[in-house]
């Protein structure tokens, strides 16, 4: 079996692609795999916020084109970076086991407290809204670039701290940079945070993903994405969702654009229906 794996060029994206490739080799040790990396528009344009240049789709545009024209056979993404709308020609074929879903605070090397004279670097409206609720008066400014680029800006003195996803830092072996973990109650994660998503062309034989797929993560990711989609959330909105499963039961938490948080529990096999119900409750302002 020969497969070409498409990925963004960043170190984190390559590590994530290698995780997928390792799972394919676990399924078929003789598989011939080729990693194909490329820059996306979202990686190139770093001087404007995502909502100013077209949203999360700019991180997958070039990879989607490569899938469609056959230059690659499967792509792997951080699920939280994917647009909520899905192309039937390029289905999300499955989701990995979830890494730590929490957001974290990262201070400059050697620092132990926040410097109130400098802003906190944060590229997400979801994080910014919740962070300002936790730390009133804090100044938050947008920051773009891969994790290493952001850390360099932090350590050079441009920011007092960063708020990042724990999952990315852990996959990069940078867990030691984490100064504080925010609980999911303090900062509700982005839909799919900590989960990797594999994307393929419609109609492909997906048996090679058997060692990659995780049922719990898949059920949670689909419910979380359905909630955000129902509220028309995206990179320009703070809408968030986080689901957990216990046996046959799912608990889904959601946050609307005003920062109000809601929760619903029900059968895990009705996750997307639960998401629709929760979204309706948020629109009606019900607790």
Put the strands of the sheet holding 240-246 in their side by side order.
Answer: 240-246, 249-255, 261-267
Answer yes or no: are the C-beta atoms of 106 and 179 closer than 8 Å: yes
Q: 190: closest CA among 169, 160, 216, 220?
A: 220
Q: What residues pair up with 3 in beta bridges, in sequence order?
A: 33
Return the DSSP state at 119. P
C-beta atoms surrounding 197 within 10 Å:
24
Helix (H, G, I), strand (E, B) or coil at 6: strand
- Write the DSSP assignment of 51-117 as a string of letters: HHHT-GGGGTHHHHHHHHTTS-SEEEEEGGGS-SS--TTS-EEEEPPP----EEEEPPTT--S--TT
Q: Are strands 120-121 and 161-165 parallel, antiparallel or unpaired?
A: parallel
Measure the CA–CA gap between 27 and 20, rounded to whole angstroms.
Answer: 11
Answer yes or no: are the C-beta atoms of 247 and 266 closer than 8 Å: no
CA-derived radius of gyration, the chain: 19
Catalytic residue among 43, 64, 73, 81: 81
Q: Is 81 an annotated catalytic residue?
A: yes
3-state helix, strand, coil in the chain (%, to 5): 35, 25, 40
Residues catalogued as catalytic: 81
């Amino acid at each position: 079996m020969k497969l070409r794996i498409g990925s963004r060029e960043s170190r984190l994206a390559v590590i994530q692609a290698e995780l997928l490739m390792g799972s394919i080799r676990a399924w078929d040790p003789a598989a011939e795999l080729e990693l194909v990396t490329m820059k996306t528009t979202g990686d190139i344009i770093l001087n404007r916020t995502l909502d100013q240049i077209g949203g999360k789709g700019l991180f997958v545009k070039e990879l989607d084109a490569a899938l469609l024209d056959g230059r690659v056979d499967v792509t792997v993404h951080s699920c939280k970076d994917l647009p909520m709308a899905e192309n039937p020609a390029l289905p999300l074929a499955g989701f990995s086991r979830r890494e730590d879903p929490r957001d974290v605070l990262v201070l400059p090397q050697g620092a132990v407290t926040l410097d109130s004279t400098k802003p906190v670097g944060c590229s997400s409206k979801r994080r910014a809204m919740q962070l300002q609720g936790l730390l009133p008066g804090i100044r938050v400014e947008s920051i773009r670039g891969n994790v290493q680029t952001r850390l360099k800006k932090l350590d050079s003195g441009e920011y007092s701290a960063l708020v990042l996803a724990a999952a990315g830092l852990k996959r990069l072996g940078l867990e030691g940079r984490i100064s504080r973990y925010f609980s999911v109650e303090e900062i509700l994660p982005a839909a799919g945070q900590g989960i990797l998503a594999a994307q393929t062309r419609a109609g492909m034989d997906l048996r090679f993903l058997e060692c990659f797929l995780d049922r719990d993560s898949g059920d949670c990711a689909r419910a979380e994405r359905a909630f955000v989609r129902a509220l028309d959330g995206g990179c320009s909105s703070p809408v968030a969702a986080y689901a957990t499963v216990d046996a046959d039961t799912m608990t889904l938490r959601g946050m609307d654009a005003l920062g109000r948080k809601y929760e619903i529990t029900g059968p895990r096999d009705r996750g997307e229906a639960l998401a629709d119900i929760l979204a309706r409750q948020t629109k009606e302002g019900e607790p």
